[in-house]
Structure 1
Amino acid sequence: MNGCQHPEYNVPLANATLDIRLLPADVWPPECDVDALAQALHPLFSTHFQREQWVIAYHQSLIEIAFDQGEVAAGELSEPILELEMELKAGQTDDLLALSQELAEWGGIALRIQSPAGCGSLSTTVGAFAT
């Protein structure tokens, strides 16, 4: 995996409550007590958004484009989510970067390093200091 990728796990959930015990066993270090960890976890924020997705051919690559619109909420605080995310499905990283540059030249799009989850975490921290 290079610096632009991260592991992603999708598991079916019966409701909006995460159960980390559903993740593959090999994601945890051998000494991790997953049951104890699951009991200790509690949500700090939540995201609520609608997503539209497309896979496009661009030069020699296949690129998934996802458009998310909604909000990230932490207690009484919330921030809007208006995000365009791109993922290289097959092909060259240079094609992904070229498409990013082309879209940025249209205007109205800015690079944001922080994910909506990172924003939720930040809102929780800011909220703790604002009271």
Structure 2
Amino acid sequence: MNPQDNQLHDLEMIISKVLRIGVMTAGICLLWGWVGMWIKDGDALSHFQTYQPEPLLEKVQWALLMQDRPLLIALFGLVILVCLPLLRVLLTGILFCKQKDFRLALMAFLVFGTLVASFFLGIEL
């Protein structure tokens, strides 16, 4: 195995570890936040009986104002979980660049840009 292949394998392993750590961190944050909300509010699911859309920034501002740490931790876990596919596509594009496969790298970066744009288009701020 030549040094170039070792570098690429190491980069693939880094991507794998980053994704595993991200999923574990998101899971811990979500569990911690949900358990905290359950302890704080008792029945945390009772207010989900009717759907009431709320903008994300309003929810975060309210949680900051009320110092609702369990909700903030749960939202942070969700942000991590949603950003992991973005990170995967970005790191894959970098991997393709290192492999000098610029067409696939360009496609990966176009997919990355499309994902970022779709997230911003879908968020009601």
Q: State TM-score, norm by structure 2.
A: 0.24
Q: Which has the higher contact order (CA 8 A, sep 6+)?
A: 2
Structure whose residues are more often strand by fraction = 1
Q: State TM-score, norm by structure 1.
A: 0.23
Highest Rg: 1 or 2?
2
